[in-house]
Amino acid sequence: MDELVRAIEATLFASATPLSVEEIAEHVGEAGVEVALGKLAVDYEGRGIELVERGGRWHFQTAPDLAHLLRRTREEPRRLSRAATETLAIVAYHEPVSRAEIEAIRGVQISKGTLDVLMEAGWVRTAGRREGPGRPLLYATTPEFLTHFGLSSRRDLPGIDDLKAAGLLDPLDEGIFQALNQEQLESEEQED
């Protein structure tokens, strides 16, 4: 067996976290890591363990079809509320996105804890501020998000191409509810 492939196999196997090609190269001290990773991935095809790439970082994991043997409980590793699930999806499909934009899409304010839960899980991070009025803080997903949900990259997000084509990921047209005459609204409210 190719010595470089062996070395990469051992390094990834021993690592407690996924490793980028650069990090692997620092350990094995050689060029040609990418080609060797390809060979290694082929070696593991169809086995009980597989070599996967998630957001540019590589790790070994058990084959998904063996989940039933390994799952110790039916409990999800981290139960997410509906609000947190929606918020995570909005961040992933629209990133970088401000809190106000998340709220506009959901049509409701998000409670303080919702983003905290996602950040604590290591799936969402802050991603600078948007230049413009108020310089709102922006949120984006992390490499751990891709790892956890088994996504090679954000392009792998379920249905992202269809949503994009349907215009559903375009910047939100704010203020459609304000598009109608504000006075009119107020007078109707008093009527009610």
Partner 1 sequence: MGVEPLDFPVGSDELTLNLDGWEGPLDLLLSLARAQKVDLAQISILELVDQYTTYIAGARALKLEIAADYLVMAAWLAYLKSCLLLPKDPQADPSPEEVALRLQMRLQRLDAMRETGARLLGRDRVGRDVFVRGAPEGLRLVRKSAWQASAFDLFAAYGIVKARTQPPMHVVHARSVMTLDEAIERVSRMLGLAIEWLDIEAFLPVTDDPLFRRSALASSFVAALELARRGRLDIAQEEPFAPLKVRSA
Question: Taking CB under 8 A as the rule, does residue 21 contact a second copy?
Answer: no
Choose from a second copy, partner 1, none: what does 29 bind? Cβ within 5-8 Å by kind.
Answer: a second copy
Question: Taking CB under 8 A as the rule, does residue 14 contact a second copy?
Answer: yes
Q: Count helices and strands (H / E) in the chain.
A: 10, 6
Q: Give the Cα separation of 24 and 51 in Å (integer).
A: 14
Using the contact rule CB under 8 A, the part of the chain among 1-9, 35-43, 132-140, 142-150 near partner 1 is 142-150
Determine which residue in the list 5, 55, 125, 147 makes contact with partner 1, applying CB under 8 A.
147
Segment 81-120, which members bind a second copy (CB under 8 A)?
none
Using the contact rule CB under 8 A, the part of the chain among 30-38, 39-47, 117-125, 126-134 near partner 1 is 117-125
What value does the CA radius of gyration of the chain take, rounded to a whole number of Å? 22
For the beta carbon of residue 65, count every other beta carbon within 10 angstroms: 8
Question: Taking CB under 8 A as the rule, does residue 16 contact a second copy?
Answer: no
The answer to whether 96 and 124 have CB atoms below 8 angstroms apart is no
Segment 43-62, which members bind a second copy (CB under 8 A)?
46-49, 60, 62
The answer to whether 159 and 173 have CB atoms below 8 angstroms apart is no
Question: Taking CB under 8 A as the rule, does residue 64 contact partner 1?
Answer: yes
Question: Taking CB under 8 A as the rule, does residue 41 contact partner 1?
Answer: no
Question: Taking CB under 8 A as the rule, does residue 44 contact partner 1?
Answer: no
Sign of the CA dihedral running 99, 137, 127, 155: positive
Task: Give the E-state strand segments of the chain in sequence order.
Answer: 19-20, 49-54, 57-62, 97-98, 124-129, 137-141
Instruction: Give the interface with a second copy as residue ranges (CB under 8 A).
Output: 1, 5-11, 13-14, 26-29, 46-49, 60, 62-63, 66, 69-70, 72
